[in-house]
Amino acid sequence: MGDAVFNDGTVLDRRFLALAMMEFWERFAMTGVKSLLVLILVDHVLAGDLTRVAGATALRDASVAVFGPISTTGLASQLYGYANALIYLSIPLGGLAGDLAGSRRVMVASSGAGMLLGLMLMLGNGSFLIGLLFFAIGTGLLKGNLSAQVGLLFHDEAQRRRAYTVYLGFLNAGVICGPLVCGALEVFAGPAYGIGAAGVALAIGLVFYTGNGEDVAVGPTTANPAYPPVGPAAATGVLIVALAAVYLCFAAYEQLNNIFLVWARSHVDLRLGGWAIPVAWLLSFDGAFTLTLVAVSHLTTRALERRGITIGAAVQVLLGGLCCSAGYLVLTIGSLSGGTLPLAWAIAYLLLIDAAVVLIWSSCLSLIAGVAPRRLIGFWVGLFYLHGFFANLWVGLSGVYYERMGTPSFWLLHAGVAGAGALLVLVVGFPLMRAVRARQAITTSACANAPA
């Protein structure tokens, strides 16, 4: 297989391509399953007698003991949240297991095998929940080792950054294709075909990865801090506020994959050019809009910088929280009408929350890299990625109240959650960032004036 070459001449060998393609197929499988999960649970697995489904009765009884009587939709929402929270909780554990095992390649292969086993078990209603457990844990363990290998391939920071940009492109391509293929097969052939497509995609990725990848040795690294050190109290405060804003924004955003699909199926006219699109395709729109907005953001940032205008990371986190809140206000207002809404309402919601992700994701990581202590950057970045764990717990638990609160109130709650993150940055984050910048300016001046 030939090498991949960037425009500036940087060559990426087949190890990178194996990792990027594995990420594409893994994300294809994961988002394909996520796009179908709630609807399969509601329409098939949890419909009727739960005693025929291993583990379903125990989970329902435990939920009733905590939340009181629960509907099928409410229980499905909880299971969706638990499964996705388990994926994200497994990510740091998978990375640690790869460190201890000394072979991330073995961890990726074994985790992928666990995912495949889970998908096979999910083909039957009786073993569906057991299969979902295997699939969720396997996905998390695999993710933690794929992205780590990408970073270990490159010693030059600029090359590593460009490589992760390409890697992100492969990731979002999987986000687009998975729901498109699996959603279409579920509609036209049945849920087993949608799950089967995810299994085939994952198997293709594993064959490609094991046939072309190599273990990447972990070598010594040299610290080269891009920012001067800052006071620990102010830095910790900024990091906590940034993470809290991310957690709150993504807690609202992740409802896209859960109750939003249930709501859209009942309240949105999904006809496009006279043909009704599968509801799962809205998640493919989500991936396509994100890719488009990444390009728009990059071009806009460069245009502003040429005019001497720079938008700081904290401001971008604030704007992202406001965009996410506005997206859920769109759903709130639309739900007040009580009738069937045009597809444009769902598109407006998707554009706003995707803009929120584009603004918050990169800016928060940049903030962490600039403020966190050099020796603890991995720890703080790991806490950043736990947003998926907390967000999926929230969407699962809050989904119980979708039918109890009424649709407008439910979406207004999520607008408030995202808005709370923006308010936190505005009221607490900005003063802390001013203190950090002042300390950085003092440290930089002292370093410049120090004798050689």
Q: Residue 207 — φ and ψ, nearest 5°?
A: -65, -45
User: For 33-61, how does the pLDDT look when each residue is reduced to its tens digit (9 = 90+)?
Assistant: 998 999 899 999 998 888 898 988 998 89
pLDDT attached to residue 356: 92
Say which amino acid occupies 274: G
C-alpha span between 145 and 143 (Å, rounded): 5
pLDDT attached to residue 312: 76
Contact (CB, 8 A) for 35 and 261: yes
User: For 345-393, how does the pLDDT look when each residue is reduced to its tens digit (9 = 90+)?
Assistant: 999 999 999 999 888 877 776 677 667 675 555 567 667 778 888 887 8
pLDDT attached to residue 4: 45
pLDDT attached to residue 340: 87
User: For 206-224, how does the pLDDT look when each residue is reduced to its tens digit (9 = 90+)?
Assistant: 998 887 755 544 333 333 3
User: For 109-128, how does the pLDDT look when each residue is reduced to its tens digit (9 = 90+)?
Assistant: 999 999 999 999 999 999 99
Position with higher pLDDT, 448 vs 62: 62
C-alpha span between 229 and 223 (Å, rounded): 13
Tell me the pLDDT of the chain averaged across its residues: 81
Extract long-range pairs of 390-393: CB within 8 Å, 24+ residues apart.
390/85, 390/247, 390/250, 390/251, 391/247, 391/250, 391/251, 391/253, 391/254, 392/80, 392/81, 392/82, 392/83, 392/84, 392/85, 392/87, 392/88, 392/254, 393/81, 393/82, 393/85
pLDDT attached to residue 328: 96
Mean pLDDT value across residues 425-449: 62
DSSP assignment of 243-312 equals HHHHHHHHHHHGGGGTHHHHHHHHHB--EETTEEPPTTHHHHHHHHHHHHHHHHHHHHHHHHHHTT----
Position with higher pLDDT, 369 vs 285: 285
Measure CA of the first residue to CA of the last residue in the chain; give whole Å: 50
SS (H, E, C) 45-93: HCCCCHHHCCCHHHHHHHHHHHHCCCCHHHHHHHHHHHHHHHHHHHHHH
Position with higher pLDDT, 326 vs 449: 326
User: At residue 196, does pLDDT exceed 90?
Assistant: yes
User: For 234-269, how does the pLDDT look when each residue is reduced to its tens digit (9 = 90+)?
Assistant: 778 888 888 999 999 999 998 998 889 989 998 999
User: What domains can you pick out in the chain, each with its CATH number?
Assistant: 13-216 (1.20.1250.20), 227-451 (1.20.1250.20)
pLDDT-wise least confident of 21-35, 79-93, 182-196, 402-416: 79-93
Label residue 323 by pLDDT band (50, 70, 90). Answer: very high
CA angle 213–83–406, rounded 5-degree value: 140
pLDDT attached to residue 146: 78
Q: 268 has which bridge partners? A: 341
pLDDT-wise least confident of 312-326, 396-410, 429-443: 429-443
pLDDT attached to residue 351: 95
Q: Residue 12 — φ and ψ, nearest 5°?
A: -110, 120
pLDDT attached to residue 181: 94
pLDDT attached to residue 382: 64
Burial of 275 (0-12, 13-18, 19+ CB in 10 A): exposed
pTM (two decimals): 0.66
pLDDT attached to residue 69: 86
User: At residue 438, does pLDDT exceed 70?
Assistant: no
Q: Tokens 């699996």 belong to which residue?
A: 182
Q: Residue 406 — φ and ψ, nearest 5°?
A: 95, 145
